[in-house]
Amino acid sequence: MRGDTAVPSWIPRDTNFFDLFERTTATIVEGARYLEKLVQNPVGLDVRLNRLKELEHEADVTTHETFDRLNKTFLTPFDREDLHNLASQLDDVLDWLEETGQRFYIYKVTETKPEAVSLAHLATCATEELDAAIKKLRDHHKNSKEIQRRLVEINRLENEGDTIYRQALSHLFEENGMSTLQVLKWKEIFDSLESSLDACEHAAHVIEAVLVKYA
């Protein structure tokens, strides 16, 4: 049953979910910007990763708070399943960003690759668009066109990321003097960067489905 028709419209709903989502995306944007700088200049990773871990933990705490509120709240602004899916997808974004940083550290990367820098930048842009869309979601009827514009841009960024990802793998397998182990290490790094963009797009799909359902 739809969250906006299950009960009379005059009964107030818990809007704290929007605050939680906005807190999450603000953390995600900070994490993406931090990772982008790390990818651009991978030095001192043992120390610099601490902040990325802290941000990932902050996002986890907010996600758990969202789930807990879902279990305790009678009236939600959207269907519980939609809210749960959105919280989960947002959490995945920062998980993949943090995973990328971890792979730089584990594989002892000291010199970056241009495709990695490009993918990290696209991830930052996608998280910023996601954050902007989430900030407009509490008044989604009024802001539906702007939200849709942000979602379309996320899709475009993800498509651009796919192109760079394929080029990166092609260059990787053609690069002379690189050991099989190094190839595999960089492939995993590219995989996690591309997955962070995929996670942004998945979150965008959830938002788009909500807009359609509650149009």
Whether 2 is in a domain gets the answer: no
- Whether this prediction's pTM lies above 0.75 is answered by yes
Give the position of tokens 């939609």. 82
Report pLDDT for 90: 96
- For 96, the domain range is 16-213
pLDDT band at 70; cut points 50, 70, 90: confident
- Structure token digits, residue 189: 């790094």
CATH code, domain with 182: 1.20.58.220
Rounded CA-CA distance 38/44 in Å is 9
Whether 6 is in a domain gets the answer: no
Whether 1 is in a domain gets the answer: no
Per-residue burial over 47-83, b if 16 or more Cβ lie within 10 Å, else e, is ebbeebeebbebbeebbeebbebbeeeeebbbbeebb
How far is the CA of 198 from the CAs of 76, 102, 111, 127, in angstroms? Answer: 27, 18, 25, 11
| Residue 139 DSSP label | G
Rounded CA-CA distance 17/96 in Å is 23
pLDDT band at 9; cut points 50, 70, 90: very low
Rounded CA-CA distance 13/17 in Å is 10
Report pLDDT for 176: 76
pLDDT of residue 178 exceeding 70, the answer is yes
**Residues 204, 130 contacting (CB under 8 angstroms):** yes
pLDDT band at 95; cut points 50, 70, 90: very high
DSSP-derived secondary structure for 15-26: -HHHHHHHHHHH
Whether 4 is in a domain gets the answer: no
Give per-residue pLDDT as tens, 154-171.
Answer: 999 999 999 999 999 999
Report pLDDT for 140: 86
Whether 130 is in a domain gets the answer: yes
What integer is the mean pLDDT of 168-192? Answer: 91
Indicate the number of domains in the chain. Answer: 1
Please state which of the ranges 31-35, 106-110, 119-123, 177-181 shows the lowest mean pLDDT: 177-181
Long-range contacts of 115-118 (CB under 8 A, 24+ apart): 115/164, 115/165, 115/167, 115/168, 115/171, 115/190, 116/39, 116/168, 116/186, 116/189, 116/190, 116/193, 117/36, 117/39, 117/40, 118/164
Report pLDDT for 174: 86
H or E stretch at 123: helix 114-135
Whether 121 is in a domain gets the answer: yes
Rounded CA-CA distance 18/181 in Å is 44
Q: What is the percent of the chain where pLDDT is above 90? A: 75
pLDDT of residue 212 exceeding 70, the answer is yes
Whether 62 is in a domain gets the answer: yes
pLDDT band at 126; cut points 50, 70, 90: very high
Report pLDDT for 80: 85
